[in-house]
Amino acid sequence: MRESPSDNLLTPTLLTMEGVSKSFLGVRVLHDVSLTLEAGEVHAIAGENGAGKSTLMKVLAGEHAPDTGTVRLDGTEHSFTHPSQAQAAGIGIIHQEFALLEHRTIADNVFLGREPTRRGFVDRRAMEERTDQLLTELGESVKAGLTPRTYVRDLPVARQQTVEIVKALASDVRVLVMDEPTAPLAEHEAGLLHGLVRRLADRGMGILYISHRLREIFELAQRVTVLKDGRHVITARTAETDTDQVVRAMVGRELGAYYPPRAEPGEWGDAVLTVTGGGNRRLRGIDLTLRAGEVTGVAGLQGSGRTSLARALFGAAPFTEGSMTVGGTSLRPASPRQAIRAGIALVTEDRKAEGLALRQSVRDNALLVTRAVPTRGRPPAGRGLTRLLERVRLQARSEDQQAQYLSGGNQQKVVIAKWLAAHPRVLLFDEPTRGVDVGAKAAIHTLVRELAREGLAVLIISSELPEVIGMSDRVLVMSDGRLAGELPAGADEEDIMRLATGHPDHSDAA
């Protein structure tokens, strides 16, 4: 853990928010919240969805004016009424949805709206030189392959985020707010981002870092503030607190074990799904058995073929070679419909684009599969549907509520309900708890284990290693489109990473 800069009494407090309250339509979303940020500090903000994190940050960024309370930057009080004023004062915010123009270059984006001019024309050269310089300052690992003339649309998500950061640097931002920056990233990309955040802090920038991920909070931040229901719960030095305390503050109750107990070896049943020599454009030589009652974890770096594996099993991007059996019958599904008819279900990674019809009701989403594939049983109606939604512990205003207005966790529960209605034999989860708050996460984990106990075969793909390790009865590791190895329950992160990065200790495994 690094020395907190605030230990040095000479450093003035960079940012002070005091007694901030905010109501919308008479509903109080922030109650008297206070917060300080030192120059060079990474200060994590944690809390469940709806705790008020985003609203607090929007107050800071001038997107909402507070009802009461003050914002002081370097001792000067500001009352921003527009984001541009906050920007001018040196406050930058990187939202989860990036504010980038995809069809423009990096340099264009970095200087958007304040392009340097020469004799009345945009001085592209100056723009590009300055952008290049900023990229270089961030170090070779960050710059790798980026040039000022690269088009944003050609960049993967992680690199687009880098562009947002360069944008902040170019406008001399002193307080940078990052809203769940690692949510869309894979583990190793997150590592790169952490390095970058540390470097920004070393330059004296103050960083407010919103995150669900406790591990990164403890790795990265000097202090952590927890909000719950719009109120400040604690602010603590990460060196002086621990995960349990932060989790307790977030959920306001004790969470027993983080993950439900695993299955005993005797609880596994027969093989429900087998693949022999499965392959397609992205995958090769896949040999796999999923057993009833067992939770199988899949780990691997981004691009290692984890998602491709799930999509192949589900027939969305089918295997083109090899053979597969489901419930003893030979079937290599060529479409999701075929897979569903055989009793396979896939909870996709991208919940909003592939898991839900966002503008439809909870009911219509939950019934979608059974309505589309009648052979999986009649759509549950009335009491049956209510029981199903209770089963997944959905918290919604009513069955008529549109899916888009649910929290991430409840959205995921609806997706799971949609599959359970069709009585699957095999449940595939791709990133089951991405963007889901801590409470819902525990509920989903418990539910997944319950389902396994009832005899479903479960596959969990996750880029969060603790999740894979905590949930799985065994862990498969993917690398470069192959299954690089299998590890027993409770394997540690190092073992997994060694296999995932293709550097096993004994490198004779063919």
Partner 1 sequence: MSTGAAHEAAADTRTATATAAPRRRITALLGPGTPVYVLLVVLLAALALSDPSFYEPDRFLAFVKRAAPLVILAAGQYLVIVSGEFDLSVGAIVTAGVVVAAELYGSYPDAHWLVMTLVLLLAGAAVGLANGLITTGLRVPSFITTLGMMLILEGAVFYWTGGSPHGSMPEDFRALGRGSAFGWLPWAVLACLAAGVLAVALMRSDFGRTLIATGDSERTAALAGVRVHRVRVLAFVLSGVAAALAAVLVGGFSGVSAQAGRGYEFEAITAVVLGGVVLGGGRGSVVAAMAGAFSLQALFTLLNLRGVSGAMESTVQGVIVIAAVGLGAADWSRPRRRRTHSTRGKPS
Site for partner 1, rule CB under 8 A: 24-25, 63-65, 79, 81, 314, 316, 336-337, 340-341, 346, 348, 353-360, 364-365, 367-369, 371-374, 379, 386, 389-391, 393-400, 418, 446, 450
SS3 (DSSP) at 46 = strand
**Closest distance between partner 1 and the C-beta of residue 375, in Å?**
10
Q: Which is nearer to partner 1, 144 or 372 (CB)?
A: 372
CA distance 394 to 481: 36
**Closest distance between partner 1 and the C-beta of residue 152, in Å?**
24
Q: Which is nearer to partner 1, 42 or 367 (CB)?
A: 367
8-state DSSP, 361: B
**Closest distance between partner 1 and the C-beta of residue 433, in Å?**
17
Q: Which is nearer to partner 1, 207 or 428 (CB)?
A: 428
**Closest distance between partner 1 and the C-beta of residue 50, in Å?**
16
**Closest distance between partner 1 and the C-beta of residue 99, in Å?**
17
* CB-based contact 20:34 (threshold 8 Å): yes
- Torsion angle, CA of 150/156/160/166, rounded to 10 degrees? -60
Q: Which is nearer to partner 1, 217 or 415 (CB)?
A: 415
**Closest distance between partner 1 and the C-beta of residue 335, in Å?**
8
Find the largest Cα–Cα distance for the chain.
Answer: 79
CA distance 46 to 243: 12
**Closest distance between partner 1 and the C-beta of residue 180, in Å?**
22
Q: Which is nearer to partner 1, 354 or 486 (CB)?
A: 354
Q: Which is nearer to partner 1, 314 or 429 (CB)?
A: 314
Residue 27 β-bridge partners: 24
Q: Which is nearer to partner 1, 40 or 293 (CB)?
A: 293
CA distance 78 to 277: 64
Q: Which is nearer to partner 1, 214 or 461 (CB)?
A: 461
Question: What is the CB neighbour count within 10 angstroms for residue 287?
Answer: 12
Q: Which is nearer to partner 1, 250 or 389 (CB)?
A: 389
Q: Which two tokens stand for residue 224?
A: 């952590």
Question: What is the CB neighbour count within 10 angstroms for residue 243?
Answer: 14
SS3 (DSSP) at 110 = helix
**Closest distance between partner 1 and the C-beta of residue 125, in Å?**
39
CA distance 332 to 319: 7
**Closest distance between partner 1 and the C-beta of residue 360, in Å?**
6
What b/e readout covers 470-506, taking b as 16+ CB neighbours within 10 angstroms? bbbbbbbbbbebbbbbebebebeeebbbbbbeeebee
Q: Which is nearer to partner 1, 242 or 390 (CB)?
A: 390
**Closest distance between partner 1 and the C-beta of residue 144, in Å?**
32
* CB-based contact 392:450 (threshold 8 Å): no
**By C-alpha distance, which of 428, 288, 469 is closest to 344?**
428
**Closest distance between partner 1 and the C-beta of residue 33, in Å?**
17
What b/e readout covers 82-96, taking b as 16+ CB neighbours within 10 angstroms? eeeebbebbbbbbbe
Residue 34 β-bridge partners: none
**Closest distance between partner 1 and the C-beta of residue 262, in Å?**
16
Strand pairing category for 271-279 and 286-291: antiparallel
CA distance 10 to 22: 33
> Is residue 199 packed enough to be buried (19+ CB in 10 Å), middle (13-18) or exposed (0-12)?
middle
For the chain, state the CA radius of gyration: 24
Q: Which is nearer to partner 1, 99 or 239 (CB)?
A: 99
Alpha carbon distances (Å) from 440 to 147, 212, 251, 435, 436: 41, 12, 10, 10, 6
Specify the amino acid at residue 194.
H
Q: Which is nearer to partner 1, 230 or 355 (CB)?
A: 355
